[in-house]
Chain A
Amino acid sequence: MKTRRFWTIFCPQTCHRASVVITLLLVILCAGAEAWIAAPEKAWFGTHTLIPWGPHEIDLQTLPPAPPDPTRQHWLGTDAAGRDVLARLVYGLRLSFALSLGICLASFMIATLIAMLSALAPPWVDLCTQRFIELWSHLPFLYILMGLSSLVRGGVGLFLGAVVAFSWTQLCLLLRAQLLVARGSEATLAAKLFGFSTGRIAFVHLLPYLYPLFFSLMPFSLGATLSSLTALDMLGFGLPIEWPSWGQLLQEGLSHPRAPWLTWPVLFGMIAILTLTSLIGEASRKAWHPRQASEFR
C-alpha cells in the first residue's frame, strides 16, 4: 500500500514512471556495459557479447569514419579512428553520467556548507559571503577554463575541479534563502533554547529543510551538468581525448560533415537524457511540494 502511495506521489503520471524506469534501465545497461559491449578478451562473458568492439578497439577494415555496417557489427558506424560509435556512445554516457553525478554532489556539498555558514555565522560573514558569491558568479567561466587548460596540460582533476568551483553559486543562494526561513522556525528556536550546539542545529535541525530543494533540483542539475560537460568536451576543454565521451563524438562530427552517423546518435541521446532528467525533476519537484510531502508523511 505504502509502495503504491510512493509511486502515486513521486511518479504521478505515466510519463514520470516511464522516465524513471528508462533511466534505471539505462543506468543498469551502462554500468554493465562490459557484459554486452566489449572486445571479447575484456568482456564479462567471453565471446558472448552483443557488440564485440570495446570503446578503444580500432577497426581499420573499412577506411574510417565508416558508416553503419551490420555485417561487422558496427551498428552506428565507426569514428575517424575506426572505433565503434555505439560502444563510445554507451561508455561515454556512463562516464559523463558518473562525472556529472560526482560534480553535482560536490557542488551541492559546497553550496550547503557555504549556505550554512551564511545563515548561522555572524552577519558580517553573511555579508562577505554574499559579495564573494556575486563576484565569483560573474567570472567568465569559459575564459578561465581556456586559460587554465593552456597553462596546465592533461589535468582532468583540474578540469573537474573548475567545473565544480563554478557550479555551486546559484544553488547556494537558494539554500541560504531556505535556511534563513528555517532559522526562524519554531523548531530551530526550540533547539536553540535547549542549548544545542550550532553544528547539531545545522545538520540535525536545519538540514532536513533543504531536502526538498536537493531532491527537486538534483535531476535538473544532473542534466545541465551532463550537457555542460558535453559542450566543454566538444570545444576541446574537457576530458582526455582517448576517453570515450559524447563531446568528442560531436567534435568529430563537426570535422567530418559527411559522416552524420557521428553526430545524430549524440544529439538524440542528449535529447533523450535531458527529457528524462526533466521529467524526473518535475516529478520530484511535485512530490517534494510541501502539501504533497505532508500528505505522504
Chain B
Amino acid sequence: MRVRLEISACIFGSFWGAFGLASPKPASPKLHWQSLASPPSLGSPKAQRGGTLRLYLPQFPLTLRQVGPDAHQSFRKVLDDNDLSLLNLHPNTGQWFGELATEWAIESSGKAVHYRLHPKARWSDGTPVTAKDYTYILEFMRSPFLQAPWYNEYYTKTIVAIEEVKVSEGPEEIVVRLADTTPEPLYATNLRPIPRHFYGELKADFVSSFNWKIPPNTGPYQISAIDKGRSLTLRRHPHWWADELTYMQHRFNVDEVVYTYIRDPNLAFEYLKAGAIDALSINSPEQWRAAEDDPMYQKGYLHRLQLDNDMPRGDYALVLNSALPIFQDPKVREAFAYAMAVDKVIHELLQDAYLRLEGISQGYGAYTNPLIKARPFDLQKANALLDSAGWQQRDTDGIRLKASQRLSVPITYSGSHQTPRLLVLASEAKKAGIALTLQPMEPAAAFKSILDKQHSIALMAWGTPYRPEYRSRFHSSLAFKAQSSNISNTANLRLDQLIEEYEHAGNDSVRIAKAHAIQQFVHDDGSYIPLFAVPYYRLAHAPWLQFPEVPGTKSTDDLSVFDHSSGGLFWMDTSIVADVRSAQKRGLPLPIRTRVDHTFSVLSKAAGKAG
C-alpha cells in the first residue's frame, strides 16, 4: 500500500539543506506541502562505473518520436525511461518522492496539484529545466500536427491546465489542474516536461521532421548512434544532473548500452552463447531449463539469475465472449472454468514455475480480494453444469451437442509459446465434451480481432495500471462495440454501479471494498478464466554482469536498464572480461552460478503467513 510521508517544516528544511538551499516560502498558505527526504537507496556501493552492455532488440523502432504515428512500439520504453518525471514511486515502499520536483501539494478540491521544481534539473544539453517546459506540455500535446488524437484529447479533457505560479523567491512552482477529481491526483498529474527550446512552435511537418531527431532528455542516457535496421547505441551523460540525488547513486553504471536488432527472437540465445550480447531474459521454464543444459552454462561462461517479484499481476485469462449464444448461459461459462486444467499445465508443462492466477486484479495488496479463488479443474462439476444447461447429447467424438450444435469453440491468441499450453487445456476439456480449437494469429491481427469482439474465447493478458481499472473492461457502455476493451461483452447494471462507486469513492477503504465487490462479481460472472502469474524474472547473462545483494526490486520483471524507478542497478566488472574470454577460448571451466533471490517472493510470504 502506498504511504505518503508528510513531513514537518523542519524536516523539509533539512532536505533543502542537503542541497545547500534555503527553505522556500510556500506559494499558498492553504497548501500542505509534502516531500520525502531520503527514499531508500537501491544501488550498491560496490558498483563500478564503465563498460559497454550489449543487448538484443526484438523490433527496430520506426521512429524516435515519442508521440504520433508509429510511436507506440517496444523501444518507446527505452526513450520514456530516460525522461524523468516530476515524482517517482519507490518500487519497494510505494512512497512518492520528488524527482524533477522537490515538493508537492494537493489542493483541497483534489483537482489540482502544485509542484516545486528542482532547481538543479538540467536537460542533457545543459539547459535548465524550467516551469516553461511544463506549461509547454499543453501547447505541444494539443497540437493537431502531432497526429495523436488520444494525446490531444487527454491533455484537453483530463488535464485542463498547467500553470506557472509566480513566486517571489525559491524554486519555480507549477500547478497541474485536472478536469475532475480522482483518487490518485499525484499519479494523474505526474508529468514529464517537454523541451520547449528544442521543439519550439510545432509545424505541419512535425511527424516527418522529428522522426529521427534526438531530443534533449533529463534521464541518464541518450541515443548516441543509430545504424538503421541494425543497432542503436545509448551513451551515459558524463555529468548527469541527477547523479547527486541519493536515490540515483550507484545506479546506471555502464557507460554505453548497445542494442543489436535480432529479427528472430529464437536466435537471441544463440547470440548470447556466441558472446554477441551480454544478457537475455529467459522467463519461460523451457528457456530456463535449456540454459541449464547448455554447455556454456555448464562451463560457467554464462550465469543465471532469478529474482522473485511481488507486483501487480496482469489479468492473464481466457476471456469468454458472453455475447455468443453459447456463452450467454452462465452455467456454460462456469462449466468452461471447471473444465480448464490450468493446474495441470502449471505443474506438468511449466514445471511449477508459474502460479495460478486466482482472479482479476491480483498483486494489488489491499485492493486484491483475498477470498477469491480460481475454479479448479473439476470434470464432475463441469459435466453437471453442462448437463443442466441442456448440453446432454454427445457425438461420436464425445463432444456435447445441443439442438444439433456442437460445443466447439475457437480460442483466439497470439504467440507460438501459448500453443502447447492451450493444447493441454483442449485435451483435458475434451473429457468434459468441450472441443476447443486453436486459432493462432499475428499479434496485431489478434488484438484487432479481439477488440472487434470477433472472438469466442480470447487468450489475453492485460497490462497492470497503478491501481485496478475496471471501466474499460467491464462497463456496459463499452460492451457490444467494436474496438473497445470490454472484450467479454459484460453488461450488467449492478456492475456498472459498482464501477461508478469505485471510481468516485471518497476514501481508500470504500474504494477497496468496491474493488473487492467488482472482483467477486467478475468471478461469479465466469467470463474471465484466470490462468497464470509469472512470479519472478529470470535472466541468463555473462559472468561480468554484476548485481547488488538484492538484484532488483519488488516490481522488477525484466533486466531494467534505464527505468528511473527501479532500473540500472547492475554494473560491468570489466576486470574479469578478459579472464572469462581467455578461459572460454582455452575451454577451461569456470564456477557454475545460478543465483535465486527470494527477497520479494510471494510464495515465501504466503508460507510465512500460513506458518
Contacts and interface: CB of A to CB of B under 8 A. Distances in A.
A80 B420 contact: yes
A154 B427 CA distance: 19
A257 B267 contact: yes
A25 B440 CA distance: 35
A136 B269 CA distance: 43
Nearest to B448: A150
Nearest to B264: A254
A191 interface: no
A240 B438 CA distance: 7
A80 B419 contact: yes
B410 interface: yes
Contacts of B249: none
A251 interface: yes
A82 B440 CA distance: 19
A249 B416 CA distance: 12
A150 B416 contact: no
A166 B294 CA distance: 45
B208 interface: no
A125 interface: no
A17 interface: no
Contacts of A150: 441-442, 445
B286 A241 contact: no
Interface in B261-308: 264, 266-267, 269-270, 285-286, 289-290, 293-294
A255 interface: yes
B439 A58 contact: no
Interface in B533-567: none
Interface string B120-156: 0000000000000000000000000000000000000
Given A150-B445, A153-B410, A241 B349 contact: no
Given A58-B427, A154-B410, A236 B440 contact: yes
B437 A81 contact: no
A251 B437 contact: no
A258 B269 CA distance: 10
B416 A242 contact: no
Contacts of B285: 63
A186 to B, nearest CB: 58
Contact of B266 (A56, A83, A256): A256
Contacts of A255: 266, 416-417
B416 A251 contact: yes
A152 to B, nearest CB: 11
Interface in B413-451: 416-417, 419-420, 423-424, 426-427, 437-442, 445, 449
A81 B266 contact: no
B18 to A, nearest CB: 53
B424 A60 contact: yes
A64 interface: yes
Interface in A60-113: 60, 63-64, 79-83
B351 interface: yes
A155 to B, nearest CB: 11
B438 A242 contact: yes
Contacts of A251: 416
Interface in B332-351: 344, 348-349, 351
B266 A63 contact: no
B15 to A, nearest CB: 53
B437 A154 contact: yes
Interface string B374-411: 00000000000000000000000000000000000010
Determine which residue in B289, B293, B420 has the highest number of CB atoms from chain A within 10 A of its CB, and name it.
B420
Nearest to A65: B286
B423 A242 contact: yes
A81 B351 contact: no
Interface in A29-49: none
Interface string A143-161: 0000000100110000000
Given A64-B349, A154-B437, A154-B439, A81 B420 contact: yes
A155 B342 CA distance: 28
A126 to B, nearest CB: 42
Nearest to A259: B290
Interface in A212-254: 236, 240-242, 251-252, 254
Contacts of A80: 286, 419-420
B195 to A, nearest CB: 41
Nearest to A257: B266
A293 B440 CA distance: 51
Contacts of A242: 423, 426, 437-438
Interface string A252-268: 10111110000000000
A297 to B, nearest CB: 49
Contact of B420 (A82, A240, A254): A82
Contacts of A83: 423
Contacts of A79: 420
B410 A58 contact: no
Contacts of A258: 269, 290, 293-294
Nearest to B344: A60
Given A241-B438, A241-B440, A257-B267, A58 B289 contact: no
Contacts of A240: 437-438
A173 B427 CA distance: 48
A217 to B, nearest CB: 35
Contact of A63 (B269, B344, B349): B349
A58 B424 contact: yes
Contacts of A60: 344, 348-349, 424
Nearest to B430: A56
A260 to B, nearest CB: 13
Nearest to B445: A150
Contacts of B454: 153
Nearest to A146: B442
Contacts of B423: 58, 81, 83, 242
A157 B380 CA distance: 36
Given A58-B423, A242-B437, A254 B266 contact: yes
A216 B290 CA distance: 49
Contacts of B438: 240-242
A63 B286 contact: yes
A81 B419 contact: yes
A63 B284 CA distance: 12
Interface string B337-374: 00000001000110100000000000000000000000
A153 B416 contact: no
Nearest to B285: A63
Nearest to B350: A63
A57 to B, nearest CB: 8
Contacts of A257: 266-267, 269-270
A256 B270 CA distance: 11
A208 to B, nearest CB: 44
A64 B420 contact: yes
B439 A153 contact: yes
Interface string A4-23: 00000000000000000000
A153 B417 CA distance: 20
A199 B586 CA distance: 80
A56 B419 contact: no
Nearest to A61: B348
Nearest to B449: A153
B263 to A, nearest CB: 12
Contacts of B344: 60
Nearest to B286: A63
Given A58-B423, A60-B348, A242-B438, 16 more contacts: A58-B427, A60-B344, A63-B285, A63-B351, A82-B349, A83-B423, A153-B412, A153-B441, A154-B437, A236-B440, A241-B438, A251-B416, A254-B264, A255-B417, A257-B267, A258-B294
Q: Which 10 A-B pairs have the closest CB atoms?
A: A81-B420, A60-B348, A81-B423, A80-B420, A241-B438, A255-B416, A58-B427, A258-B290, A150-B445, A255-B266
7 contacts: A64-B349, A79-B420, A150-B441, A153-B410, A254-B266, A257-B266, A257-B270
Interface of B: 264, 266-267, 269-270, 285-286, 289-290, 293-294, 344, 348-349, 351, 410, 412, 416-417, 419-420, 423-424, 426-427, 437-442, 445, 449, 454
